[in-house]
Amino acid sequence: MTYEAPLEKHPVNIREVVLGEGEKAQKIGGENTFPFHSFEGSLPNPPGLALEVLDMQPENWATWALDPFKDVSSDPVEWARKGVEEYGAEILCLRLLSTDPMGMDAAPEEAAKTVRKIVDSLNIPLIVLGTGTEDKDSKVLIEVARACSGKNLLLGPVLKGNYQEIAKAALEHGHAIVAQASMDANLTKELNIALCKFFPPEKIVVDPTSSALGYGMEYTFSIIESIKQFGLVDKDKMMQMPVFADIGIECWRTKEARESAEQGILWEATTGMTFLLAGANLVVFRHPEALRLIKSMISY
Amino acid sequence: MALKGAEIMKMLPKTNCKECGCATCFAFAMKLATGGVKLDDCPYIDPEVKAELEGAMAPPMKLVTIGAGQNAMVIGEEEVMFRHEKTFFHEPGIAVLISDKESEPDIDEKLARVKDLRFERIGNVLKVNLLALSNDSGDGGTFETLVKKAYETTDFPFILISEDTDILFSAAAMCADRRPLVYPVTNENVSASIPKLKELGLPAGVKGESLDEVIAVTSQLKDAGVEECVIDPGSRNMLDGIRDQTLIRRAALKKGFRPLGYPTMTFPCFMCRDKYEEALAASALMTKYAGIVVTSLTEKEFIFPLLVHRFNIYSDPRRPMTVEEKVYEVSQPDENSPILISTNYALDFFIVSGAIEEANIPAFLCIKDTGGIGVLAAWTSGKFTGEAIAEFFKKYDVENKVKHKKLIIPGVAKKLKDELEEELPSWEILLGPSEASDIPKFLSEEWKV
Ligand code: SF4
């Protein structure tokens, strides 16, 4: 028996999505093969690794999660700046926690002002996330879309119950969106189909929702893998959007991450690495050390 | 490659003599294809045809056993590239590397530490499973001292590593009853290794600098009758490792290429610049098909995430994850502690019990068997209704565990509250938060006896 490397070629590509604008804009997606399979296909863009920023003082974070930002954690603009200048983040993910209707319930205009300040002072690709509350998020994200018109933010999560309003505002003001459907590849596809009736597919990133190591990580892993298979192998156009994974928030709420700094960083990095291996194109980290580790490992 | 019934049929005597217990040869062929009968049940198959059938019907990836007895490690016989296509079957071995160049106290300490790397998680024991003993000193006596010590003080299966084939096999002979994996068997030493592997009945750790080299060695071993191999394609960085593992698995499963139809071994301990990278590389390689990862890590903070990772990736996606039905005591509750109830869906259980621990308020957590489905679905299907929970209360005598009569139920189960007020009229039913992450806040603010 002679051996011939069993290489697999796919005649289609995952869509390329641009984040941000100007010279610091970044592309994600665009590959025609499985993650890290540069031996049989092309992966024009490395995965996007984003660092999380909250728009209010975090509560209840493990000391070692807060430590890297403890001097700036009450000022989202300074937090963002430190993330970029000190920790080398090339994409930021601002979570508008202040707008949580069960918490501070800040007004959409307030939140939008913070986003605008960060955009003006840093001008790097920015993901802006609401709290997953459909009504409130649509008010907040529409306001953010307006306040940052033309900046090509990535706005989310866009859900089944609010996609029309938010996507419309994103389209009008030139932003991309994160379409979120929980733990089910079919729901991901359904939402994409609904969106693509009026929204450009090259401005959609999908979020199957993330679970942390030890808390259902394998479900997220397999859903990302199946989305990628549908996209590349079955050539399903509605499954060729880049995949987004918001892992920091999930990992750092586990008791294991709160047990020690080493274990916490590894909990997050392991979850992140696993999703990258499944095919995630954009991952949000909370701890700069977890992000740095992943970056150094996938680029050597 | 699995054979279809029709293909097997062509090779049978076609006399329909019924001696196999089947009505016809065709019925026998169909049953054979699905594993319902054994080839031996038909006394009339031509021996040559039989050998051919056996070969064709063997799983595309060999099953390999390292070690003996209850600690034996079984790897291989995987059937899919992606776990959602079926499941991954045999958890990869995590092997801790110990060198005979390390000092005696270091070795003693390491051996003791590795024994402690055992953790319980939803009724499963997560642990390190192998010791990789490495002859870096180049000295036979030193290596044998290490092997002897590991043999006498632990019951782990071993991987024995030595560049010197004589040293390798004399150490292997010392612990042959434990069935160690001997490594490396290469192009250079394969001829010398074959008689010893056969005599001692051991699996071979095959190393090549390329897949072509690996193939040459496994083919030679197979021809000589050494059936159990574990392959190291020589990759010494993570991304190359992922490439090689992927190609090996694909060649075996999708092309039926037998010379690569074996589980693999990888060396994250030689791929990385620090412990964090090593832990990450080990988990990445386990995700991407490694049968064994050899690591130098022994610290709990680095090994535990790895063990949980393996447990997750190798859990069966076809089965709902469940925990045992009972009243769990979280952080030693007493008669004034709160009582919560939830389903036996493992993720719910984890998140809720974790949240209670985080709240630092001891509590009783009632876990009702719902067949592993979550609160709302279980309520709809009658497994988490007022009636079902009232029965649970009787069965486990929940009333007598505490002095108060307050039950906290999941916040999403609003309708359940009414049902329970009817079924357990003397109890006050408190609707808890909908998100488990809000449990600490809920308990510290709302809980009063
Ligand atoms: S024993 Fe063999 S020959 Fe006889 S019926 Fe069965 S398969 Fe056919």
The string of pLDDT tens digits covering residues A221-233 is: 999 999 999 999 9
> For B204-247, how does the pLDDT look when each residue is reduced to its tens digit (9 = 90+)?
999 999 999 999 999 999 999 999 999 999 999 999 999 999 99
pLDDT attached to residue B33: 83
Strand blocks (E) in A11-169: 16-19, 26-29, 48-54, 91-95, 126-129, 154-158
**Contacts of B208 by beta carbon, 8 Å cutoff, 6+ apart:** B186, B187, B214, B215, B216, B217, B231, B232, B233, B234
- Mean pLDDT of the region B286-307: 97
Q: Which CATH number does the domain housing residue B396 bear?
A: 3.40.50.11600
CA of B56 to the centre of ligand 1 (A): 19
Q: What are phi and psi of B426, to 5 degrees?
A: -85, -5
Distance between CA A82 and CA A89 in Å, rounded?
A: 9
Measured in whole angstroms, how far is the alpha carbon of residue B211 from the centre of its chain? 26
- Mean pLDDT of the region B93-122: 94
Model pTM? 0.89
Q: Which of A221, A263, A297 sits opposite B277 (nearest CB)?
A: A297
Residue A191 has pLDDT above 60, yes or no: yes
- Clarify whether residues B51 and B133 are in a common domain: no
Contact predicate B181/B168, CB 8 Å: no
Residue A278 has pLDDT above 90, yes or no: yes
The answer to whether position B320 is within a domain reads no
Distance between CA A230 and CA A241 in Å, rounded?
A: 11
Cα–Cα nearest to B221, from B232, B229, B213: B229
- Clarify whether residues B302 and B330 are in a common domain: no
Distance between CA B330 and CA B382 in Å, rounded?
A: 27
Contact predicate B330/B357, CB 8 Å: yes
User: What six digits make up the tokens of B24?
Assistant: 């016809």
Task: Please indicate whether, in this complex, the C-beta atoms of A6 and B255 are within 8 angstroms of each other.
Answer: yes
For helices B211-224 and B190-200, angle between their N-to-C axes, nearest 10 degrees: 50
Residue A291 has pLDDT above 90, yes or no: yes
B407 touches chain A (CB under 8 A): no
- Mean pLDDT of the region A204-216: 94
The strands making up B292-295's β-sheet, listed across from edge to edge, are: B229-232, B204-207, B181-185, B158-161, B130-134, B93-99, B292-295, B265-266
pLDDT attached to residue B3: 74
- Clarify whether residues B268 and B333 are in a common domain: no
- Clarify whether residues B384 and B309 are in a common domain: no
A216 touches chain B (CB under 8 A): yes
Residue B8: band (very low, low, confident or very high) from pLDDT cuts 50, 70, 90: confident
> For A101-136, how does the pLDDT look when each residue is reduced to its tens digit (9 = 90+)?
888 999 999 999 999 999 999 989 999 999 999 999
Task: Please indicate whether, in this complex, the C-beta atoms of A222 and B82 are within 8 angstroms of each other.
Answer: yes
For residue B282, the surrounding DSSP H or E stretch is helix B275-287
- Clarify whether residues B35 and B143 are in a common domain: no
Which residue in the block uniquely carries the two structure tokens 């490792």?
Answer: B241
Q: Is B279 exposed, middle or buried (0-12, 13-18, 19+ CB in 10 A)?
A: buried
Task: Please indicate whether, in this complex, the C-beta atoms of B304 and A263 are within 8 angstroms of each other.
Answer: yes
- ipTM computed for the complex: 0.96
The domain boundary residue, chosen from B272, B293, B314: B314
Q: Which CATH number does the domain housing residue B238 bear?
A: 3.20.20.20
Is the pLDDT higher at B354 or at B425? B425
pLDDT attached to residue B1: 46
Task: Please indicate whether, in this complex, the C-beta atoms of A1 and B211 are within 8 angstroms of each other.
Answer: no
Residue A239: band (very low, low, confident or very high) from pLDDT cuts 50, 70, 90: very high
- Clarify whether residues B375 and B291 are in a common domain: no
pLDDT attached to residue B371: 87
pLDDT attached to residue A1: 67
Residue B314 has pLDDT above 50, yes or no: yes
Taking CA–CA distances from A221, the nearest residue in chain B reads: B313
Ligand 1 binding pocket mutation candidate from B8, B11, B19, B53 (most atoms within 8 A of CB): B19
- Clarify whether residues B273 and B153 are in a common domain: yes
Residue B2: band (very low, low, confident or very high) from pLDDT cuts 50, 70, 90: low
- Mean pLDDT of the region B409-418: 89
Residue B88 has pLDDT above 50, yes or no: yes
Task: Quote the number of domains for chain B.
Answer: 3
- Mean pLDDT of the region B39-56: 86
B279 touches chain A (CB under 8 A): yes
- Mean pLDDT of the region A184-190: 93
- A284 forms beta bridges with A50, A246
- Clarify whether residues B110 and B259 are in a common domain: yes
Provide residues with CB under 6 Å of ligand 1. Answer: B 12-13, 15-20, 22, 25, 28, 42, 44
The domain boundary residue, chosen from B279, B314, B349: B314
The answer to whether position B129 is within a domain reads yes
- Mean pLDDT of the region B54-63: 87
Scanning B203-232 for CB atoms below 8 A from A yields 211-212, 215
Q: Which domain, by its residues, includes B349? A: 326-446
- Clarify whether residues B160 and B37 are in a common domain: no
- Clarify whether residues B437 and B418 are in a common domain: yes
- How much of chain A, in percent, has pLDDT values that exceed 70? 99
Q: Which CATH number does the domain housing residue B39 bear?
A: 1.10.15.40
Q: Hey, which CATH number is domain A20-27+38-298, 3.40.50.880, 3.20.20.20, 3.40.50.460, 3.90.1300.10?
A: 3.20.20.20
pLDDT attached to residue A300: 53
Q: Mean pLDDT, chain A, as a whole number?
A: 96
For helices B238-255 and B275-287, angle between their N-to-C axes, nearest 10 degrees: 10
Q: Mean pLDDT, chain B, as a whole number?
A: 93
Residue nearest to atom 7 of ligand 1 (CA): B25
Distance between CA B130 and CA B96 in Å, rounded?
A: 6
A198 touches chain B (CB under 8 A): no
Residue-by-residue DSSP string for B57-83:
HS-SS-EEEES-GGG-EEEE----SSG
- Mean pLDDT of the region B310-329: 89
